[in-house]
Amino acid sequence: MTFLDSSIWEGLVFSGGWVNGSGGEYDAVEPATGKTLGRVGCGTPADVDKAVDQAVRAQREWAALPYSDRAAVLRRAARLFEEHRQEIETCLMRESGAVRPFAALQVSSGGAEECYEAAALAGAPYGELLRSGQERLSFARRRPVGVVGVIAPFNVPITLAMRAVAPALALGNAVVLKPDPRTAISGGVVFARVFEEAGLPPGLLHVLPGSADVGAALVEHPRVPVIAFTGSTRAGRAIGVAAARHLKRVHLELGGNSALVVMDDVDLDKAASVGAWGSFVHAGQICMASSRHLVHASVADEYTALLAQHADALPVGDPLGENVALGPIIDAGQRDNIHRIVTETVEAGARPAAGGTYQDLFYRPTVLTDVPLTAPAYAQEIFGPVAPVVPFRDLDEAARLAAGTEYGLSLGVLTRDVMKGLALAERVPSGLVHINDQTVNDEPLVPFGGVGDSGTGSRHGGSAANLEAFTEQQWVTVRGEIPDHPF
């Protein structure tokens, strides 16, 4: 029997063990081939209630354990990701359409490294001594919030869930995870199997694939005080409104329309390679993707031609095949939205320098030039392998264009003059800035998050952000004797 053998999980959800979900089951489909990967158990709001009841009870004992016990579970989970790396990678490739290197990055960084960092977080300082004007000991300490609800997307299912699941567990919380139903195996079953084998006590992690009503029930539940959501800005707004009605915290990592600014002093061959990666990696289905290429007017034509050469040379196909750079779009609805954006942008006056076509769910890497600033490919998040190129004439115009969006997730600036790049970054609201690199960057130990329509700031990564995200601060004072009061 393999680690992810379907006989363990098929038709079941993970909630205090492998059990039948109230929503029955459905087919998990491989986008590259249309083949059925297995039957996935489906949860309902009733399952959320049951899961939270179990989680509340289990969390008390988990939080009372020595930190070293929690850390040991996280370290074992990390080793399981390493030991079963190839099987989990293949699962990601088949279900999410990731090519092997991108799947490997998720397993190593998003899986193993996130767990190792969380294991260290379990033993990190969790409070501070405070000055007091009275004769008493005064300190602040961090306490687990209780139950954390995690709602994760399809595109990078391990990384974008684990960066909330692992630190939340390490800090003494229980977790109810709702994976995207399109990646319920790689983004759900994998988590359940890893922590089951790592020895996480029953009732602390629940995995409930399902429709939007499962996520809504999690957000509305009165005993789930914190929600970590990664997904679209539209859905994030709705979750933020619902959470606010219950005065609960919500950590939102949402969409992006990130700019890659290319100055006139760079090596254009390298710049085009960087730009191609930023726009086309994982078929552009990344929130941090380089969605707008802002290029100095004096080199814009040459850069566009080089970028188009890269796009035309990239092989697209089944990730399990050889020499494939881009896999499929996740489903027909997403593909059709990408093509709508490209088509409407061309109708608005843009010219396709490469791509703009598809076969089945395989969309060719696309480069657009002469793009009007009001066209969908420039103004909207694309979430596909599309690179609009827009020229600028000076630093002021570059800053104005880069900042001219409601989003604020990532910014890349390519220039030999690093100080000029930093000066530009000062003028562009963005949660992430990368000088001399493209916009798609992430590491488990650094703060991650966007501003504006991209989310509620850095709520993931690094001990400070995770403590803020998944604990409550409590003020404590201690006196040696009961004081005299005038009443």
Residues 238-249: tens digit of each pLDDT: 999 999 999 999
pLDDT, tens digit (0-9, with 9 covering 90-100), for 57-87? 999 999 999 999 999 999 999 999 999 999 9
- What DSSP designation does 316 have? B
287 is catalytic: yes
Element (H, E) at 207: strand 205-207
- Three-state DSSP at 172 gives coil
426 is catalytic: no
> What tokens appear for 207 in the block?
């995995």
CA distance 160 to 186: 12
> Does the pLDDT value for residue 445 go beyond 90?
no
> Does the pLDDT value for residue 458 go beyond 80?
no
What's the whole-model pTM score?
A: 0.95
For residue 351, the one-letter residue type is R
pLDDT given for residue 222 in this prediction: 96
Name the residue ranges covered by the structural domains of the chain. 6-254+455-476, 258-435
pLDDT, tens digit (0-9, with 9 covering 90-100), for 117-132? 999 999 999 999 999 9
Exactly one of 287, 302, 381, 397 is catalytic; name it: 287
pLDDT given for residue 462 in this prediction: 79
CA distance 409 to 340: 24
pLDDT given for residue 1 in this prediction: 84
Element (H, E) at 139: strand 137-144
CATH of range 6-254+455-476; options 2.30.30.90, 2.60.40.1260, 3.20.20.70, 3.40.605.10: 3.40.605.10
> Does the pLDDT value for residue 291 go beyond 80?
yes
258-435 falls under which CATH superfamily? Answer: Aldehyde Dehydrogenase; Chain A, domain 2 (3.40.309.10)
pLDDT given for residue 172 in this prediction: 98
> Does the pLDDT value for residue 397 go beyond 90?
yes
The string of DSSP letters for 433-458 reads EEETS-S----TTS-B--EETTBSS-
For residue 91, the one-letter residue type is C
* E strand intervals along 189-303: 205-207, 226-230, 249-253, 258-262, 290-296
pLDDT given for residue 447 in this prediction: 85
Number of helices (H), then strands (E), in the chain: 17, 23
Exactly one of 253, 347, 381, 406 is catalytic; name it: 253
φ, ψ of residue 437 in degrees (nearest 5): -160, 165
pLDDT, tens digit (0-9, with 9 covering 90-100), for 134-145? 999 999 999 999
CA distance 166 to 159: 10
φ, ψ of residue 288 in degrees (nearest 5): -85, 0
Mean pLDDT for 157-162 is: 96
